Amino acid sequence: MRYTVFSGGKRLRPAIVLLACEAFGGRRREALPAACAVEFLHTYSLIHDDLPSMDDDDFRRGRPTCHRRFGEATAILAGDALHTAAFAALAEAPRDAVADLVAVLARAAGSRGMVGGQVEDLAAEGARPALARVRSIHERKTAALLAASAECGAVCAGADGRGKAAARAFGVDLGLAFQVVDDVLDVVGERRSLGKTPGKDEDSSKMTYPACVGIGRAKDAARRLAARAERRARAWPAAARSLLVDLARFVVDRTH
């Protein structure tokens, strides 16, 4: 569990939780349990997605993947325990927010969210690239958790239904932008900065944005999505929104 949680991730999802909480007028401290929860959930999903029966990845963040280091059984169980730890962390959130937070995170994680996206991702390997299908995979596999992160932050700040919907919409745009950039980096990125083997998507015939529309148009799409996320964040009440704007720019400009 520690090996993969503390392997130098960008902490993008918890940053979104904390900043969204501040942007809706909450205090960062109140959002810490939810911030830990989304990172635990993200880490569990990485460990399971990397397994031999799934994407069969040997490297992640410049180190052997969890199952390469500790064996398959331990990796599955480390993922399972982190999955539980995510919800355990939510139980530490401000009491009147817990039910909402659990519902939001479970919706993002479950069979209609991340798990559904991974099922579809595996099923789509080798199929003819189709933009609607890629988008549906990205929405569930990646954008769902970024949207939940933003919404959890808004929930911790006590935002109303409109605020929560706005946070979610920001997260969806940012998440799609993030994943399109991920697809692009898998084609043009370098192993050293990526910390994983580039070219894996093409090798395993993954359905990606560049495979559908080419690198140039994929980059354009990412920029458009991130710009829309930026515009959404600018409308939020508190000053922390400017950091979210920076974050939206980072997502498209990053090299890893």
Q: Which two tokens stand for residue 235?
A: 């409308």
Single residue of 7, 62, 63, 81 touching a copy of itself by CB under 8 A:
81
Do residues 172 and 139 lie in contact, with contact meaning Cβ atoms separated by under 8 Å?
yes
Query: What is the b/e burial string over 127-161, where b = at least 16 CB atoms within 10 angstroms of the residue's CB?
Result: eebeeebbbbbbbbbbbbbbbbbbbbbbbbbebee
Find the binding residues for a copy of itself in span 16-55 (CB under 8 A).
48, 51, 53-54
Question: For residues 118 and 179, which CB has a smaller minimum distance to a copy of itself in the complex?
Answer: 118
Q: Cα–chain-centroid distance for residue 75?
A: 20
Q: Kindly write out the interface string for residues 94-133 of this chain, putting x where it contacts a copy of itself by CB under 8 A and - elsewhere.
A: -x--xxx-xx-xxx-xxx---xx-xx--x-----------
- Establish if 90 lies at the interface with a copy of itself (CB under 8 A): yes
Question: For residues 58 and 80, which CB has a smaller minimum distance to a copy of itself in the complex?
Answer: 80
Rounded Cα distance, 133 and 201, in Å: 16
- Checking 128-133 for CB contacts under 8 A at 24+ apart, the result is 129/207, 129/208, 129/211, 129/212, 130/207, 130/212, 131/209, 131/212, 131/213, 133/207
Q: How far is the CB of 88 from a copy of itself (least distance, A)?
A: 4
Q: How far is the CB of 166 from a copy of itself (least distance, A)?
A: 22
- The number of residues that bind a copy of itself (CB under 8 A) is 39
Residue numbers at the binding site for a copy of itself (CB under 8 A):
1, 48, 51, 53-54, 71-74, 76-77, 79-81, 83-85, 87-88, 90-91, 93, 95, 98-100, 102-103, 105-107, 109-111, 115-116, 118-119, 122
